[in-house]
Structure 1
């Protein structure tokens, strides 16, 4: 495994693991529900392969994903970087809007520590920006947790340019997590530049376009009725056929190298900067092993040009979220 350094000197494996799909039912389902034993074996196998970076959040499940990860890393904690997130209000298991208050950060941190079974959270993100709370107040509350030894590093997720600049001026931000992939390149306009200027690592989530770029889904009919992607505008009957051209271009590069579509998509992200660390979501050893192998893939200038021609910034058909989801990003 290769390793990369985020902001504030935090070193992680070049490919991390997004644990969100490792839920049995829960509130966000991609494909079949995860087998919990296989999910645990996937985490253990990733550790064996040198993966050190694992990403979860209190709302995945909710709560169950942190509990799963915590149980899986018991006795294996040394050397791992465990990232989790806060930022939503919760009424029991129901999400009741965003809440970026320091009090909510503290509540979530205490719960996450308990569920994960660890003494300190390595990277604690604000999951979504709360427009009603100044970002300086939010990161100030997060830094109090750092001072108390409950958190090592803080980060943001889906923050817009102005918010990111203000946060970086108020506190040491280690990483920004936002959607970024061959078919979602909006962060290239301004956000990646701010991260570079401010020594903030960048963590792309959904680096495989929620599975689309892997090339295994060619029709909306292949999605189960309860699959979350049925809500994704890019998977709609109107947009999916047009977006298959992107998958076909990726497949052409993959065939040339004898590798998978997923490995091409992840290698493309790694080629965009040495502080970029994608976290593909996985729930099975086979897909995890395939993704992790992308750390050893180097794309040629010709490969990158072919992908650029098929998937220029803004060239994907459809927005990345529905109306409600789009109101919560780049704030």
Structure 2
């Protein structure tokens, strides 16, 4: 187990975003539930969702159905599924759709939480994040409203998602922050100052997209229709080919070690810090098992040195979400 600011979770969690239609193409409910229940059975009993995944309720309801009666740590996020009639602020992103819209005003925080509690069918949310900081709202104000939820027993731990080091420090001064969720993988390093701020706060780091949206599995050569990654510059045809060529030395190293590229990518990430927890998502039970098994891999210092050398030459073409 690993500690996220006192919240104990397994070393490999599960990102449920991929189980809603419109992310990696279509998926039916039975397949999604099978994948999620398999992840829990295999030990990835730390499930991450959001009220914005799917149609604004699908993903949370799916998670609620899968975790019912099970001992699972559930994390969810708020702020992007803005209630009808409410204003929102745009956040520029690196994907082709251009922008996201957020509202994390304190007056809406309880409303968001109560909606998620209904969707999930739980009495309390184990770990609750604002999906993105609202550029028009001081982070202290949003976290202050979240602290009220903790006091009322509706939320157990507070996290931040896609926040800066400064925002983490300011938020932690209002209420302890258990975890900061950020993109971190072999092809997207963490901001060193954010990691330092997490250490200062005693917070863990939840790594989203730890497999580079599937690229680091070494198996993505083209995308199907309806795949969300068509919006991602790193998956554009020319960039995808170039990135696969640049990633070849790491794929070969995985082969020599007798592990898959995905397992090597996850194990490498776990070796970067003792409080980082990756949340890969997959729709395939065999791949889920493969990901969970990476949590038990112990990489020799010589292997880590070889990886560092290979990664120094791996400069992906194209940008990422943020």
Q: TM-score, normalised by structure 2?
A: 0.90
Give per-residue Cα distances to partners, 1:234-262, cap 9 Å, x unaligned. Answer: 11234223322443122122112211111
Query: Which runs of 5 or more residues in structure 2 are unaligned?
Result: 89-100
Shift of 1:307: 2.5
Once the two structures are TM-superposed, the CA of residue 95 in structure 1 deviates from its matched residue by 10
Match of 1:39, SS? helix
Partner of 1:6: 4
- SS of the residue aligned with 2:277? coil
Instruction: Name the residue aligned to 1:230.
Output: 230
Contact 2:4/2:179 (8 A) holds in 1:
yes
Equivalent residue for 1:214, pick from 193, 214, 217: 217
Give the match for residue 183 of structure 1.
Answer: 187
After TM superposition, which residue ranges in structure 1, 4 or more long, deviate above 6 angstroms?
Answer: none
The answer for the alignment partner of 2:40 in structure 1 is 47
Structure-2 change in CA distance of 1:243 and 1:95 (3 Å): farther
Residue 329 of structure 1 is matched in structure 2 by none
1:203 paired with 2:182, answer no
How far apart, CA to CA, are the structure 2 residues paired with 1:92 and 1:159?
25
Greater CA deviation, 52-61 or 187-196? 187-196
In the TM superposition, residue 135 of structure 1 has moved relative to its aligned partner by: 0.6
RMSD, matched Cα:
2.0
Number of residue pairs matched? Answer: 309
Supply the distance in 1 between the matched residues of 2:50 and 2:138 (Cα, whole angstroms): 22
Q: Residues 121-132 of structure 1: matches in 2 within 5 Å?
A: 121-132=125-136
2:146 is aligned to 142
* TM-score, normalised with respect to structure 1: 0.88
Given candidates 75, 78, 88, the residue that maps to 1:83 is: 75
Alignment of 1:89-128 (within 5 A): 89-91=81-83, 97-128=101-132
In structure 2, how many angstroms separate the alpha carbons of the residues matched to 1:160 and 1:290? 32
Segments of structure 1 that go 5 or more residues without pairing to the other structure are: 327-331
In 2: Cα distance, 1:119 partner to 1:135 partner: 26
